[in-house]
Amino acid sequence: MSLNSGGNKRTETTGKNGIDSIYALTGVTQGKNDGEEIVVKVDEINTLQGNTPTLTGSVYAWNQKGGTSSSSTRNITGVYDLSGATWERTASYTANGHKSLLQYGKSVSYEGEVLKTQSTKYTMVYPFDSTVDNNPTDSTTEGLNSASSANYVTNTKIYGDAVRETSTSSIGETAWENNFSNYVGSRNVFMMKSGSFMDTLNAGRFYFSHTAGSSYFNIGFRPVIIPIT
């Protein structure tokens, strides 16, 4: 689903669909099958009332009865968009020394000029296989796949992040619900979750993947607030 901003501008930017759009809006759901492309104007969503969907695409908002189906608890108080809207960055990485850590994530992975190699209160540091994932400038697909596989095997102690406990391999449709798995390694040192709107059926609550940390239109983040008790 594309959410048209309402303008007439069209663009040829790589990765976009030629419509002046925004690519994710939290708390909306619609009954179309995965893979079908519809275009809904944000103005249509803003004027929704009762439990009547938009005329285009049968879209519901988060505060409508029909919209709560996209909530984790199926009611208005749940967590929305757990899968398939945008990739969600996490504060986790592998400290393999690749230049991506410094180039894209210095504020998270470095203390001054020193790479942080241990997990902290706010970040998760995944282990890596230094015999395989040892090239700080490697940008090849072969190097990425090898490092990803080796690092997945090396990670035998970290649980609670829905990676090792929900998947069987580092690459492929190996996570629960046939979600994709792509473990961190080589140039793609940062972990992200969920999947983007373009990943259709392979996106999901257990989809995890890796990124170098650069910005892209289908990658975002979710702020999390944890109460102090």
Query: 189 with 100: CB under 8 angstroms?
Result: yes
Check residue 23 and give its pLDDT.
57
Check residue 91 and give its pLDDT.
93
Check residue 13 and give its pLDDT.
53
- Residue 81: name the closest of 2, 4, 28, 40 by CA: 28
For the chain, where are the alpha helices, taking DSSP H only? 42-46, 99-109, 141-154
Cα atoms in the 13 Å half-sphere on the side-chain side of 109:
25
Check residue 151 and give its pLDDT.
97
Note the pTM of the prediction, 2 decimals: 0.78
Alpha carbon distance 143, 123 (integer Å): 25
Say how far residue 132 (Cα) sits from the centre of its chain: 26
Q: What is the pLDDT along the chain (229 residues), one digit of tens a residue?
A: 555 555 555 555 555 455 455 556 778 887 555 555 567 778 888 888 899 998 888 889 888 988 888 888 889 888 887 777 788 999 999 999 999 999 999 999 999 999 999 999 889 999 999 999 999 999 999 999 999 999 999 999 899 899 999 999 999 999 998 899 999 999 999 999 988 877 877 788 899 999 999 988 788 887 777 677 6
Say how far residue 18 (Cα) sits from the centre of its chain: 23
Cα atoms in the 13 Å half-sphere on the side-chain side of 95:
18
Alpha carbon distance 170, 20 (integer Å): 36
Strands (E), 34-170: 39-41, 59-61, 87-94, 110-111, 114-115, 124-126
Check residue 133 and give its pLDDT.
97
Query: 161 with 154: CB under 8 angstroms?
Result: no
Alpha carbon distance 56, 172 (integer Å): 35
